[in-house]
Amino acid sequence: MSSRSAAPPPRRPVGTVTRGTTNPNRLRRMDRWIAATHGPALRRAQAPVAVDLGYGAAPWTAVELLARLREAAPRVRVVGIEIEPARVAGAKPYEREGLCFRHGGFEVPLEGGVRPALIRAANVLRQYDEEQVAAVWERLCARLAPDGLLVEGTCDEIGRRHVWVALGPEGARTVTFATRLGSLERPSDLAERLPKALIHRNVPGEPVHAFLRDFDRAWAAAAPYASYGARQRWIRTARALAADWPLADGPRRWRQGELTVRWEALRPAG
């Protein structure tokens, strides 16, 4: 067979294999936030596609993402993308209407060159170097639909503590801190779940360090509200923080154990 008629070799997916650790309901806090804040954009789209990038050794997070997003946008479809072929093969039996799985990486291969309305990349960049994050963000944002959203972050193994960055095609927008309030001793406990772009910046002189310091101080000052429950203490803490930090949400989200800050306020120095 001549080289002219030979099919080109398949492109190698961009990225490296992750540990693949996953558990049911691990990403429920992130999913809940996405459905609430991005649901209107998903409903406006004619045929919205959401990508669960790097779903791991089991497909639970993609299955759950479809169910949660369809409560906000019934026409949404979910594509789970994994760089490890064996994980894709293992997920195939879970395919159903609106849910499929594909082999790939940061190139986000979708049929027909579709640009996704959402890319969720949870616990994917944890193993990468901080210097690699900006390039990955840029690559993924370039794949988004015009009003699309990239959500990239990290959580603990059972989803009690989670921090993520939300990005649009133009770049980073916000950072969200989310927790099960009953498990929280102080807000800075969330520092261990900062995404890769911020986790090594939690040192004096960096904005995220100053924010977490003020978060702890506001939490301590709100201690009298603990008698009304952790939720009321969190809300009081958020109100105090809003005096000095550009929060992007309000009481409706605070009641869920969330707090969102504009990226510009936490952007790494230098």
In the prediction, which pLDDT does 16 show?
80
268 within domain boundaries: no
- Are the C-beta atoms of 137 and 167 separated by less than 8 Å? yes
143 within domain boundaries: yes
- The CA angle 133-268-29, to the nearest 5 degrees, is 65
In the prediction, which pLDDT does 270 show?
74
Residue ranges, the chain, pLDDT below 70: 1-10, 20
Sheet of 118-122, strand order:
99-103, 77-82, 49-53, 118-122, 149-155, 161-168, 171-179, 258-262
- What is this structure's pTM? 0.93
Distance CA(44)–CA(53), nearest Å, equals 23
Domain that holds residue 171: 27-180+246-262
91 within domain boundaries: yes
In the prediction, which pLDDT does 6 show?
46
85 within domain boundaries: yes
The distance from CA 248 to its chain's CA centroid, rounded to whole angstroms, is: 16
Half-sphere exposure of 237 (CA within 13 A, CB side): 32
In the prediction, which pLDDT does 20 show?
67
122 within domain boundaries: yes
66 within domain boundaries: yes
Closest CA to 34 of 143, 183, 145, 174: 174
The total number of structural domains that make up the chain? 1
105 within domain boundaries: yes
150 within domain boundaries: yes
DSSP state of 185: S
Closest CA to 153 of 258, 6, 243: 258
Closest CA to 167 of 36, 59, 264, 67: 264
CATH number, domain containing residue 77: 3.40.50.150
